[in-house]
Amino acid sequence: MTSSPSCPRWVLPLCLLVFAGVARGASEEVDPFESFLRPAHPAAEGFSPWPDLSKARAGSPVSALARGRVVSVGPERDRVTLEHLVHENHELVRVRTEYSGLEAVELRADALVTRGQVLGRVGKTSRPSVSLVSDRRLSIEEARRFTSSRARLPQPAAEPVLVLISHAKHQLRLYERGIERARVEVGFGQETGPKEERGDNRTPVGMYFIVHTHRGEFPGPYGAYYGGHWLKVNYPNPWDALRGVERGWLTEKTRERIARTWEAREATEASTRLGSGIGFHGWKGEWSLEQTQGRLSWGCVVFHPRDIATLYERMPRGTMVVLF
């Protein structure tokens, strides 16, 4: 059913970047829940400020901007490239940082590094540099804005409670600090595809937080369809708001307000063309995937009555929810 958070610190203020793609494992059969939660190497927890190496003295240390994996080391051991995995909305994306003009690089390919770990030292004769690459090599100003807006990044596996939902699998999994505790079947909106605007009867994809819960009776002609339970998430989020700005539906000021309140895990704007009132609820009776194809609501995630009754208290306010 429907009712009604400026980019957060780790979202690029003008959202200039289009990442190279979702970080996937080699096999197409990889469990999407596990590949999101436990990628090939640990996701970055945040980026250090962009360094100014123009006045760096020979012998001074050069450190990794974020946690990542060594992709390559130059044959002269004077440069190193790191890959970083970043949780960006409902996707896990790859970016690279490249460091050159170094000496005494002692790392090897595939080694894991932590943010602030010394990679090497400024060479005596070469000019040190660092660059950031996504789908393209960023300018210094873009790279500076990228790192400053991602000083802190989400770590879903560390959340006290995390809910992951797969549209393709019609499945929800509940985790407590990365440990799976429950797995249930769910349904979605009556129309397929990610939600775009109010009234399209689609369920969103993205990262949200539970901001309101209620159990009991619901008034009105559609009250029975809640199945006695309601957990609202803070749709729209900053990425939804960016879509709204690009389409002329939202002002930049509204987008900034949505991002601030979303990051605070509070309810976001309810009156824009993007729509609102997305959450979890039960149903007026039992339903089956075979009979309904899981297309039930006006955009919410629908539980079987027995499952919502069991899991309701295990999804408190502030719970991170990721739909993909």
The whole-angstrom separation of Cα 31 and Cα 36 is 9
The whole-angstrom separation of Cα 213 and Cα 316 is 8
Q: How far apart are the first and last CA of the chain?
A: 19
Place of tokens 């770990």: 117
Residues forming a β-bridge with 54 = none
Coil vs helix vs strand at 102: strand
Show the tokens assigned to 99.
Answer: 């460091």
Other beta carbons within 10 Å of 203: 28
Task: Say which residues have a Cβ less than 8 Å from residue 306's Cβ, sequence separation at least 6.
Answer: none
Q: What element of type H or E holds 238?
A: helix 238-246
- The catalytic residue among 87, 167, 229, 281 is 281
Show the tokens assigned to 292.
Answer: 């309904």
Nearest to 87 by CA among 13, 10, 29, 161: 10
- The catalytic residue among 90, 229, 300, 304 is 300
Is residue 300 among the annotated active site residues?
Answer: yes
Question: Which residues are designated catalytic?
Answer: 281, 300
